[in-house]
Chain A
């Protein structure tokens, strides 16, 4: 072994670096923009957008797949795609519930003669809760399965990444349970959403807190370090700050099990109200461990996470969770319309659960609204479906859905924030409270807002 030999390796490595450098130097700039005279405040064109502007991908690809469809004989299956997390690290529970709901939609459509007289197939793709897998799944749905439109969708990070794939291919997507504002605020023509906006949900939470007749000065927020948890905590904090309420946010990693250390800190903050924005088992772990440590829902008023709506899992995991407030998306059960009632029946029959979760309702509607749009468009051409979706008035399990801010009424004309683009403007958001141990969330009284109220609050916190 000599030094010169090892020098050879170093030289080789250097040579490779130089090669890469040369390559880099030749490479064109990734994106370029000029601050123009008319629009000095032009938003910086991201590379992806700039690229799609150049390539007329929308028109090109909208012709391909459906052209075959149109030429196909009657009776050809119409495929509607669906994204759902079915493997870890995704939220498998949510994903499976959504799949059940979408299968019900599929059965119902086929039982009623299909769409345009043709049978319907809902093709499910597993997003695994990972953006990179989500884009792959989207790719598969569009290019392998030749779906004409896509519903479902659970994780915000997946939605944010997958919407670009849909946009590149010009395939309409109706997102069911992705709350992140950017999904609609990027104003892609193909992207619709029937889930609430994250910022709107936070606004409901803040309104709920400020409407209470009890003194609330200090709120503790427990959130997860995800793209759902962080923006939700931030917009809630800023909303609370406007109302003069001080909030401290504790962020946890979603895999955390032992909350003893955090719970002591929360106790030391001496909160008047605790909000749990961490989802899944993290929320269950925190709620139950807080209860055992004496600052649970029966000691300090607590907004438990929306996953707590699944009553059976909630009571198994948080046996001491009585008096929890839970935010709920969708109409209260006693205001269910016919669609929701009949869906709920079939859902219980299929899954054995007592009532559908809000994401099941949304998933069902996301498929059904696409079906109606295809029916109204009279064709499976994606551009026509998008057109139909923009003008649709659909009555589903969530109530009447429209997309008032659309290409004929863009946000700057409507005077709305871009986040309202293709967004279902008024999903019902209510706060219910578990008031008896083992109670079903659908039997629990709605305590907020006034128009849906069915019961009075049981207040465990300080009243002075």
Chain B
């Protein structure tokens, strides 16, 4: 694991990163492919952080999408209800804020012609009043913090729970969150979804090029860079003491504790870190998509992330990420129908049937996933790594 620098793997990684960075040169004129790529990065972040949680840490949580949703909803609620005004509205809840007023709008629910307190206040406000929707990046930040807080909470609550119990608890957490978001529609607008401004509402200028707010190129790079950043961060974590400790906790909690690993601290930290990663991905993606609904919390969506990680390779964040990217593209591009003789096969439904089958078969016959062995083949060719040897010994037992 340690010490041996493998030039092949570094080379491949660098090549991959350069390809991803340069890809927009080829695909920028197809916003649909760009959209798929952005969504694929989003899923790659989720799948790889889940593989850190489940594959490395052994915590099979089904609540990863819940953390994602917490990030997204925090950003959305912030964007919907927080304004800064130069003049007090006298109608809304407001607090002085560096010489201005931080205005909290009142929720108006899903009624079609409701007016917020700000709408009502506007006619009475003096001319020249400036009302600002503060930067969305604050919302993303609050989303990350909120995700982290919930990560600490859930991480602390599940300390005693293992495997099945943990899975059930996290499902319950996710379902309760979904029920709350769907039912409290006065605030969350329920199934109608909360709308969010785009990542760069006023467009963005970069190296002399100006991109409009609807251009796919800035979100592509935001998501890609964030993806690369989280991958690097997680790889750094895994390579260090943290990775060693969480793996020791996975293998044997008591033994790890006996050897001096602070099990409680590291488990909670693991939940917190992965929750924050998921939350930030959620917040960015929500801004990119522009709308967020509680349906992202359906078990189905969680199962998609899990399947991506499993098919890619559970015990490698890189494999999980590549798996996610490939599967996102495959599932999207398989939406075709074709004719076999007199029958029309609509792949829109069948693709998911095959996907489920693939998941089962991968688990059964390729325990390390489909991508991970390929990576290993390229990076460890000829290297009699001790872990490989260990694994062989284990399977012979």
Contact = CB atoms under 8 A, between A and B. Distances in A.
Given A52-B213, A144-B32, A230-B190, 11 more contacts: A23-B141, A29-B134, A30-B136, A31-B133, A46-B197, A47-B197, A48-B198, A51-B197, A125-B335, A143-B30, A253-B183
B198 A47 contact: yes
A33 B112 contact: no
Contact of B201 (A48, A156, A231): A48
B167 interface: no
Interface stretch (A133-141, A239-247, A342-350, A364-372): A133-141
A17 B130 contact: no
B112 A181 contact: yes
Interface string A25-65: 11111111111110011111011101110110100000000
Interface of B: 30-33, 35-36, 39, 79, 84, 109-113, 118-119, 122-123, 125-138, 140-141, 144-145, 148, 179, 182-183, 185, 189-193, 195, 197-198, 201-203, 212-214, 233, 241-242, 245, 260-262, 265, 269, 272-273, 276, 289-293, 295-296, 298, 300, 332, 335, 346, 348-349, 352
Interface in A58-79: none
B350 to A, nearest CB: 11
A164 B241 CA distance: 48
A317 to B, nearest CB: 22
A198 interface: yes
Contacts of A28: 135, 202
Contacts of A25: 135
Instruction: Name the interface size band of chain A.
Output: 35 or more
A9 B276 CA distance: 14
Contact of A34 (B32, B129, B183): B129
A337 interface: no
Contact of B133 (A30, A142, A251): A30
Interface of A: 1, 5-6, 9, 13, 16-17, 20-21, 23-37, 40-44, 46-48, 50-52, 54-55, 57, 86-89, 125-126, 129-132, 135-136, 139-140, 142-144, 156-157, 160-161, 164, 168, 180-182, 185, 198-199, 225-227, 230-231, 234-235, 251, 253-254, 419
A41 B127 CA distance: 10
Contacts of A230: 109-110, 185, 190, 192
Contacts of B30: 143-144
B265 A34 contact: no
B225 to A, nearest CB: 11
Question: Which 10 pairs of residues, A with B, have the shortest CB-CB distance?
Answer: A47-B197, A55-B212, A27-B135, A51-B213, A227-B192, A24-B137, A144-B32, A27-B137, A47-B201, A226-B191
Contacts of B293: 130-132, 157
Residue of A28, A29, A41 ringed by the most chain B CB atoms within 10 A: A29
Contacts of B123: 40-41
Given A143-B30, A143-B32, A32 B133 contact: yes
A140 B32 contact: yes
Nearest to B114: A234
Contacts of B233: 16
Contacts of B346: 86
Given A9-B242, A161-B193, A139 B290 contact: no
A42 B127 CA distance: 11
Contacts of B140: 20, 24
10 contacts: A29-B132, A30-B201, A40-B122, A44-B119, A47-B213, A48-B198, A129-B295, A144-B33, A164-B290, A227-B110
Contact of A126 (B191, B272, B348): B348
A202 B199 CA distance: 37
Nearest to B148: A13
Contacts of A185: 112
Contacts of B273: 13
Contacts of A26: 137
A239 B285 CA distance: 39
B130 A227 contact: no
Nearest to B83: A44
Given A41-B122, A140-B32, A199-B112, A168 B262 contact: no
A182 B189 CA distance: 14
B63 to A, nearest CB: 19
Contacts of A40: 122-123, 125, 127
A252 to B, nearest CB: 10
Nearest to A227: B192
A89 B298 contact: yes
Contacts of B35: 136, 139-140
